Amino acid sequence: MLSALRPRLASRCRSPLCLLAPIAVLAALLAAGCGEGVPEDAVANVDGDIVKRSEFDHWLGAAARSQAAQPGAPPTQVVVPDPPRFEKCIAARTRPRGRNAPRLNAEQARQFCQQEFDLLKEQVMQFLISSRWVEKEAEEQGVEATPAEVNRTFEEQKRQSFPSDREYQAFLRASGQTEEDLKYRVKLDVLSNEVRKKIVGGENSSVSDAEAREFYNKNRSQFGQPERRELSVVVTENEGDARRARRALEDGQSFREVARRYSIDDASKDRGGKLTVTKGQQEKPLEDAVFKARHGQLVGPVKTQFGYYVFRVDKAIPGSQQSFEQARERIKAQVRSEKEQKALERFVREFQKEYRDKTTCAKGFTIYQCKNGPKRPPQQPGMPGAGGEGAPPGAGSGAPPQGGAPPQGGAPPSGDGSPPGG
């Protein structure tokens, strides 16, 4: 076919650029066939897996409904932003909504609808893309979520969340989600947890005695208890009050009485002047005085940045050191946890880079997870875990409880594409 067209094209076109046009078209078609392009009816292409616009619209509706149902949100009609003109959204926002409710003009409503759409779009795109990432990684790792496992987990969450089927059906209507949507979210959670197990398994889950002993030798202070002193104390703001407090104690008044009258340290005053001091945790003047004092000796005033101390040592508690044998299991658990965390962090960095490079988004739908999106991620706290920042707002897990937050562990992949558990 191309050979038949070539003479006709050559006869009509004198420009070298024109002659290159069929090559450019062919290249674009080949690119689309290789998983690079995004069809007109789609919002993203994740390594050849097309995210349809209809799927985006479905989850956008669920996100809008969930946002309207958030605790503390004012009661309002659910409005799903309808770009690019936002006609329905503007009409709903400019309609009177109560005697004292502020009414937006058309321009204010348009801006509000645009901002709302941009926010929901970011969250829905994160969910749809990171869901594909987790499914593809699960396939790569050779793990699966069987229908039986998904159904069992779903039914457990449903029983925990909804006392009756009527309440469950009411949730489905209010959320705009179907039971299949909820089971899909459960499937993602099962896959994510299975991937996590593979990442932290093997050498990352075993700790030898040699590794444990090396940790113990480098961190001996973690397994010891420093020397301590139990005191009766009065802390005053100035030296004059400290001397008056000491005279009152020497005259036979109790620390409880004197502390109540003079002390500025509420914590010890409320306990009758009692205070426990640990070696290595105090200002040097106070620590030196406390650990040099004899049992029962009245000492002070001792000047510190917090005030003047007058005290008596009531009890000396010697320090102790836990042996390696005593601490062995605790050490192994701690080292194992640190190894698993490092393995997860390393995996997440590589995972995000690999799948971002395989993800192309349609114009107007680009987010950080797209290779043609922003170069910097949005500001989000820490490394996401099972909380699911990529989920539509309030959508939660397989079966969110009534009225609010989803149970942890059932949420979809996080907003940056990390498998849960990171």
DSSP 422: -
Instruction: Among 38-42, 179-183, 397-401, name the one with the lowest average pLDDT.
Output: 397-401
Mean pLDDT of the chain: 79
Q: Which residue bears the tokens 């009409």?
A: 91
Do the beta carbons of residue 51 and residue 128 sit within 8 Å?
A: yes
Where helices occur in 46-178 by DSSP H, the ranges are 53-68, 87-94, 106-141, 147-161, 165-175
Max Cα distance, the chain (Å)? 119
Distances (CA, A) of 14 to 7, 8, 324, 340, 360: 12, 12, 85, 65, 35
For residue 386, how many other CB atoms are within 10 A of its CB?
23
d(CA 387, CA 255): 51
Q: Is the sign of the CA dihedral 23, 25, 30, 34 positive or negative?
A: positive
Looking at the domain 38-79+122-215+327-422, which fold is it? Answer: Triger factor/SurA peptide-binding fold (1.10.4030)
- Indicate the SS3 state at residue 37: coil
User: How distant, in Å, are the alpha carbons of 46, 207, 267, 316 from that of 246?
Assistant: 77, 56, 20, 22
- Give residue-wise pLDDT tens across range 164-176: 999 999 999 888 8
Q: DSSP states of 183-205 as a string? A: HHHHHHHHHHHHHHHHHHSGGGG
pLDDT at position 389 over 90: no
Can you give the pTM of this predicted structure?
0.62
Report which of residues 208 and 138 the model is more confident about. 138
What is the C-alpha to C-alpha distance for residues 211 and 89, in angstroms, rounded to an integer? 61
Which of these ranges, 4-18, 232-246, 294-308, has the smallest mean pLDDT? Answer: 4-18
- Name the nearest CA neighbour of 313 among 326, 325, 328, 302: 302
Q: What are φ and ψ of residue 276, in 5° steps?
A: -105, 130
* Structure tokens belonging to residue 95: 């309609």
Query: Residues 378-396: what's their mean pLDDT?
Result: 39
Q: What is the mean pLDDT of residues 211-238?
A: 88
Of 419, 416, 415, which Cα lies nearest the Cα of 344? 419
Q: Give percent above pLDDT 90 in the chain.
A: 41
Arithmetic mean of pLDDT, 280-305: 89
In the block, residue with structure tokens 């945790």: 281
Closest CA to 194 of 135, 127, 138, 131: 138
Q: Over 60: is that where the pLDDT of 268 sits?
A: yes
**Model pLDDT for residues 101-137, shown as the tens digit of each residue:** 667 888 998 998 999 999 999 999 999 999 999 999 9
* pLDDT tens-digit map of 4-20: 333 333 333 443 333 33
Q: Which of 77-86, 205-214, 249-258 has the highest mean pLDDT?
A: 249-258
248 falls in which pLDDT band (50, 70, 90)? Answer: very high
Question: The dihedral of CA 304, 306, 309, 311: what is its sign?
Answer: negative
Which two structure tokens, joined as six digits, stand for 116?
A: 């709302």
Residues of the chain with CATH 1.10.4030: 38-79+122-215+327-422
Residues with Cβ within 8 Å of 58's Cβ and at least 6 positions away in sequence, in order, are 176
CA distances from 35 to 49, 93, 156 (A): 7, 40, 38
Retrieve residue 141's tokens. Answer: 């790792």
Q: Are 331 and 312 in contact (CB under 8 A)?
A: no
Choice among 71-75, 79-83, 198-202, 272-276 with the minimum mean pLDDT: 71-75
What length does the chain have? 422
**pLDDT at residue 240 tops 80:** yes
Higher per-residue pLDDT: 209 or 52: 52
Q: Return the minimum-mean-pLDDT range out of 16-30, 199-213, 347-361.
A: 16-30
Query: Is residue 421's pLDDT more than 60?
Result: no
The DSSP secondary-structure symbol of 300 reads: E
CA distances, 397 to each of 25, 36, 412 (Å): 44, 31, 7
Place of tokens 């994740």: 46
Q: Residue 108's CB: how many other CB atoms inside 10 A?
A: 14
| Residue ranges of the chain that CATH labels 3.10.50.40 | 227-318
Which residues partner with 283 through β-bridges? Answer: none
CATH 3.10.50.40 fits 227-318, yes or no: yes
Handedness of CA 174, 177, 178, 179 (dihedral sign): negative
Query: Quick check: 82 pLDDT over 60?
Result: yes
Looking at residue 205, its pLDDT comes to: 72
